């Protein structure tokens, strides 16, 4: 199956501002969820819900009025879940080179009309980079399992 990245590009707007004058982290998280949803639904041809959001690292602020680019791709599929890697870039409109601003992994699950999880097509990595990305997703999944008890809500 086709695993072309799903890409969004747009200009960050004044309504995306935070109290410091740059783009609000909440706006970036919303875009990440949207592009991840588009990627997961495209892969599974199904409605999907977010089940897990990995650590999001904001490397540098995104400024208002910059061109923002989000790239998302499947890097691992389980039985009903899809692990989607998302990179966020931005650039000043007058400059040509995008800088990476954020990266994260989101896990989506395909669900039917009753909200019950359903099987997804298997993703098989082909290139060396895809194999490494799949190994990375499996490593993170195992790490999460190891710390799951520690991460349980306090109350």
Ligand X SMILES: CC(C)(COP(=O)(O)OP(=O)(O)OC[C@H]1O[C@@H](n2cnc3c(N)ncnc32)[C@H](O)[C@@H]1OP(=O)(O)O)[C@@H](O)C(=O)NCCC(=O)NCCS
DSSP letters for 11-68:
E--GGGB-TTSBB-HHHHHHHHHHHHHHHHHHHHTSEEEEEEE---EE-SPPBTT-EE
Single out the segment in contact with ligand X by CB under 6 A; choices: 18-26, 60-68, 91-99, 107-115: 107-115
137 scored as a contact of ligand X (CB under 6 A): no
Single out the segment in contact with ligand X by CB under 6 A; choices: 1-9, 50-58, 66-74, 126-134: 50-58
Nearer of residues 79 and 92 to ligand X, judged by Cβ? 79
What SS3 class is residue 88?
A: strand
Rounded to whole angstroms, the Cα distance separating 125 from 52 reads 22
What SS3 class is residue 122?
A: coil
153 scored as a contact of ligand X (CB under 6 A): no
- Residue from the set 17, 38, 51, 64 that interacts with ligand X by CB under 6 A: 51
Nearer of residues 6 and 120 to ligand X, judged by Cβ? 120
The helix/strand count (H/E) of the chain reads as: 2, 6
- Residue from the set 86, 109, 133, 140 that interacts with ligand X by CB under 6 A: 109
Contact characters 53-92, ligand X, x per CB under 6 A: -------------------------xxxx-----------
For the chain, what's the residue count? 155
- Residue from the set 98, 111, 118, 121 that interacts with ligand X by CB under 6 A: 111
Rounded to whole angstroms, the Cα distance separating 98 from 93 reads 10
Tell me which residues touch ligand X (CB under 6 A). 49-52, 78-81, 107, 109, 111, 115, 117, 144
């Amino acid at each position: 199956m086709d695993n072309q990245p799903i890409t969004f590009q747009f200009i960050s707007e004044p309504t995306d501002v935070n109290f410091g004058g740059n783009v609000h982290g909440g706006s970036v998280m919303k875009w990440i969820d949207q592009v991840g949803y588009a990627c997961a639904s495209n892969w599974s041809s199904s409605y999907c819900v977010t089940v897990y959001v990995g650590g999001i690292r904001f490397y540098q602020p995104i400024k208002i009025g910059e061109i923002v680019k989000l790239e998302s791709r499947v890097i691992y599929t389980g039985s009903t879940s899809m692990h989607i890697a998302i990179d966020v870039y931005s650039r000043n409109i007058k400059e040509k080179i995008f800088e990476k601003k954020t990266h994260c992994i989101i896990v989506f699950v395909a669900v039917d009309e009753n909200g019950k999880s359903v099987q997804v097509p298997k993703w098989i990595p082909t290139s060396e980079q895809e194999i490494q990305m799949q190994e990375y997703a499996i490593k993170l999944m195992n790490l999460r399992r190891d710390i799951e008890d520690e991460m349980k809500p306090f109350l």
